RNA sequence: GGUGGGUUGCCCGAGUGGCCAAUGGGAGCGGACUGUAAAUCCGCCGGCUAUGCCUUCAGUGGUUCAAAUCCACUACCCACCA
């Protein structure tokens, strides 16, 4: 073992598969070596599933290598069959283009574009769009064997279940073309990604060998699996997004804070940039005193800081502490209270207007999807106003319930807090 | 192209004329325990201007006092044959 980074990644459990390890180490022996990670615009924002591989890319940059972040402006128009049991529906080109812009911004915040190993941003639409179908078929397609393409897991499983369109079938060729193009443009001979990308990445390795007679490398990171067997990063409400407009920094922090104890070690190893010693100390603390949740807190704080910045991270942590730690919410001073409530889903009521019922307030906040659901919560004893249980399906807060004359804190169940603000 | 089977609530899956907003499981939600964790146990689980009303069993039209259930056509999926 000669490469410190690979050694660290092995300890972290961040290596699922790689092409020949010795060859890979040789490639990485060059301090300026570059590598790329692609993200397809399938939504207006990246989510924490993408963050797994993105974190890996960042580790490479911190170790001195040059990262290339590729946004799949072209591949996003086609659709990756990997991990999908059914055909994707195609998104409008303008929509995908707008997602490309937003995702590019997110990627930019995650890497360092200055210095000698400054990151490079790429969009595969740049080299894919100008190529004619005939050129594509003759220059690229000729290197692919349909037999091998059919053997890929992503394709084979789809042939079992309902079939696959020619469009999605071609996806691996497009991704391989990207790898070849980045090899030609930037001498990039390593592609990383989630383990579900293995087949697509190897398609590129093969293409580079055939078209250029050169060897390229692949490295994948395991897809995170949760202890309870469900997919990491998905909640009932959907994915945890990196865009604060889609998942608030508060909700983002809470997501990590509420991690299953059994998952925390792997999450720390996957996402944390702390040293091995620090992480091991946190894990010791987790095992010794899980109720204190020091490791959960450190994880939540670090990842939230990375995505939302240190200011936001400390704000949402302070908010959670104030709102959950305090027995009597009325004891909080105005400043602490208002900054804590600022992080929560909020309902605005105009001063002087009738305060809506608890049911209406909670429904308006979007925390429950119907009034029936809100009424049910009251009936089942999970409804609170200012941390006091309320009863009666038609319960309506009174002016005298207002904290500092302008706020209400509603709660549904153990964790869901909602702020109500009276404004002029 | 032929024949047969299928399409049910977030998912899986019962139901084959009224007792069906529709059995059961999973997910989800609330409660108890605890630590804003897990496991376990209990309850809930279409919507609403709510002792009633509205929308739902692929789509459309029909039979009937009455349909998820019967008939016709359309779309999609699966299986066997070619």
The 10s digit of each residue's pLDDT in A138-153 is 999 999 998 889 888 8
* Measured CA A44 to C1' B74 distance, in angstroms: 36
Q: Is residue A257 part of a domain?
A: yes
Q: Report helix, strand or coil for A150.
A: helix
* Pair A187, A160 in one domain: yes
Measured between its terminal Cα atoms, the distance across chain A in Å is 66
Q: Strand B: which residues 209-238 of A lie within 7 A (CB)?
A: 227-228, 230, 236
In which band, very low, low, confident or very high, does the pLDDT at A161 lie, cut at 50, 70 and 90? low
Q: Which nucleotides of B are covered by protein (CB under 7 A)?
A: 27-32, 34-39, 43-50, 77-78
Q: What gap in Å lies between CA A307 and CA A309, rounded to an integer? A: 6
Dihedral (C-alpha) A179, A184, A188, A190: value to the nearest 10 degrees? 40
Length of chain A: 424
What is the predicted pLDDT for the residue at A167?
86
Q: What does pLDDT average to over chain A? A: 91
In which band, very low, low, confident or very high, does the pLDDT at A1 lie, cut at 50, 70 and 90? very low
* Measured CA A205 to C1' B72 distance, in angstroms: 57
Q: What gap in Å lies between CA A255 and CA A249, rounded to an integer? A: 10
Give the end of a domain, one of A170, A189, A223. A223
What is the predicted pLDDT for the residue at A88?
74
* Pair A321, A340 in one domain: no
Proximity of residue A372 CB to strand B below 7 A: yes
The yes-or-no verdict on residue A327 having pLDDT over 60 is no
What is the predicted pLDDT for the residue at A236?
62
The residue-averaged pLDDT of A189-197 equals 94
CATH of the domain at A402: 3.10.290.10
Lookup: tokens for A224: 């995170």
Proximity of residue A414 CB to strand B below 7 A: yes
What is the predicted pLDDT for the residue at A153?
84
Residue A193 phi, psi dihedral angles, 5° rounding: 175, 180
The yes-or-no verdict on residue A399 having pLDDT over 70 is yes
Beta bridge partners of A120: A68
Q: Strand B: which residues 293-352 of A lie within 7 A (CB)?
A: 293, 296, 320-321, 324
* Pair A377, A266 in one domain: no
Proximity of residue A370 CB to strand B below 7 A: yes
The yes-or-no verdict on residue A164 having pLDDT over 90 is no
* Pair A102, A8 in one domain: yes
The 10s digit of each residue's pLDDT in A76-110 is 998 888 877 777 777 889 999 999 999 999 999 99
Q: Strand B: which residues 144-183 of A lie within 7 A (CB)?
A: 161-163
The 10s digit of each residue's pLDDT in A282-299 is 999 999 999 889 999 999
What is the predicted pLDDT for the residue at A227?
76
The 10s digit of each residue's pLDDT in A23-47 is 999 999 998 899 999 999 988 999 9
The 10s digit of each residue's pLDDT in A224-256 is 878 776 778 776 667 889 999 889 999 999 999
Give the helix/strand (H/E) hosting A54: helix A48-62
Q: What gap in Å lies between CA A175 and CA A200, rounded to an integer? A: 6
User: For residues A297-311, b (16+ Cβ closer than 10 Å) or e, as one string?
Assistant: bbbbbbbbbbbbeee
The 10s digit of each residue's pLDDT in A248-281 is 999 999 999 999 999 999 999 999 999 999 999 9
* Pair A152, A23 in one domain: yes
* Pair A286, A181 in one domain: no
CATH of the domain at A164: 3.40.50.620
Q: Is residue A331 part of a domain?
A: no
CATH of the domain at A267: 1.10.240.10
Q: Give the residue numbers spanning the domain of A72.
A: 4-223
Proximity of residue A259 CB to strand B below 7 A: yes
Q: Is residue A25 part of a domain?
A: yes
């Amino acid at each position: 073992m000669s490469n410190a980074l690979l050694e660290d990644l092995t300890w972290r459990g961040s290596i699922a598969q790689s092409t020949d390890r010795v060859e890979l180490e040789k490639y990485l022996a060059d301090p300026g070596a570059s590598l790329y990670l692609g993200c397809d615009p399938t939504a207006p924002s990246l989510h924490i599933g993408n963050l797994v591989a993105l974190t890996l890319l960042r580790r490479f940059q911190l170790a001195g290598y040059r990262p290339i972040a590729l946004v799949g402006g072209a591949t996003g128009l086609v659709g990756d069959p990997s991990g999908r049991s059914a055909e994707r529906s195609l998104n409008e080109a303008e929509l995908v283009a707008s997602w490309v812009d937003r995702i590019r911004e997110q990627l930019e915040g995650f890497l360092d574009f200055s210095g000698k190993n400054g990151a490079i941003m790429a969009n595969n639409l740049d080299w894919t769009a100008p190529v004619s179908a005939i050129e594509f078929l003759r220059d690229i397609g000729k290197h692919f064997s349909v037999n091998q393409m059919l053997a890929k897991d992503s394709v084979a499983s789809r042939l079992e279940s309902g079939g696959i369109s020619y469009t999605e079938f071609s996806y691996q060729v497009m991704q391989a073309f990207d790898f070849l193009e980045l090899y030609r443009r930037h001498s990039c001979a390593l592609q990383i990604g989630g383990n579900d990308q293995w087949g697509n990445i190897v398609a590129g390795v093969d293409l580079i060998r055939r078209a250029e007679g050169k060897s390229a490398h692949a490295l994948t990171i395991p897809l995170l699996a949760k202890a309870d067997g469900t997919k990491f990063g998905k909640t009932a409400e959907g994915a945890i997004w990196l865009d604060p407009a889609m998942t608030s920094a508060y909700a983002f922090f809470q997501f990590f804070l509420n991690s299953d104890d059994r998952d925390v070690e792997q999450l720390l190893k996957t996402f944390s940039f702390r040293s091995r010693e620090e992480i091991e100390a946190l894990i010791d603390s987790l095992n010794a005193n899980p109720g204190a949740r020091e490791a959960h807190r450190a994880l939540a704080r670090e990842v939230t800081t990375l995505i939302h910045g240190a200011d936001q991270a400390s704000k949402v942590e302070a908010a959670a502490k104030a709102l959950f730690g305090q027995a009597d919410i009325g004891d909080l001073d105005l400043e602490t209270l208002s900054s804590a409530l600022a992080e929560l889903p909020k309902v605005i009521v105009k001063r002087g207007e009738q305060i809506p019922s608890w049911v209406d307030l909670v429904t308006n906040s979007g925390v429950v999807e119907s009034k029936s659901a809100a009424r049910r919560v009251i009936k089942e004893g999970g409804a609170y106003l200012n941390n006091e249980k309320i009863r009666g399906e038609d319960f309506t807060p009174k002016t005298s319930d207002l904290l500092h004359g302008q706020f209400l804190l509603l709660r549904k169940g153990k964790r869901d807090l909602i702020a109500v603000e009276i404004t002029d």
